Structure 1
């Protein structure tokens, strides 16, 4: 993962085989629903061997690892600050 060039939060998506197979459209849904396109960055990351939690996501700079099932909570608490 490379350092973000600005202060926007970054959500990294695992690009490993298992995560790619299970990668849903939920992140895209939340970006549209909460109009986050200009508020966050999304980037891919190499596999981190957390395949049992696939698809794996990482929120930077908070250093929070999570699976897609927790995405709604992460977006609300850490990006929207609700």
Structure 2
């Protein structure tokens, strides 16, 4: 029987109508994870609308147990740097 592996860190990205428009953020995370060979350590999940549309895009970081709102590319880079270190 094979052993199931789970990542130690996860990013949950809201995929509601407002948050889902910010595709560049998700693309940044996916590209950075791939370039740094972190697919087994960090996984990205879509979540249903978090009903916080005024603060889109919304992101939840599982390893830090922290919510982020109005995530732009600079904040995404900061979050990723913390996840990698």
Aligned position for 2:55: 53
Answer yes or no: is the 8 Å Cα contact 1:11–1:59 preserved in 2: yes
Q: Which stretches in structure 1 are left out of the alignment for 5+ residues? A: none
Unpaired segments ≥5 residues, structure 2: none
Is 1:13 equivalent to 2:13 in the alignment?
yes
Among 76, 79, 84, the alignment partner of 1:74 is 79
| TM value normalised by structure 1 | 0.73
Question: Of 29, 32, 45, which residue of structure 1 is paired with 2:31?
Answer: 29
Greater CA radius of gyration, 1 or 2?
Answer: 2
Q: How many residues align?
A: 76
> Match of 2:31, SS?
helix
Other-structure match for 2:65? 63
TM-score by length of 2: 0.71
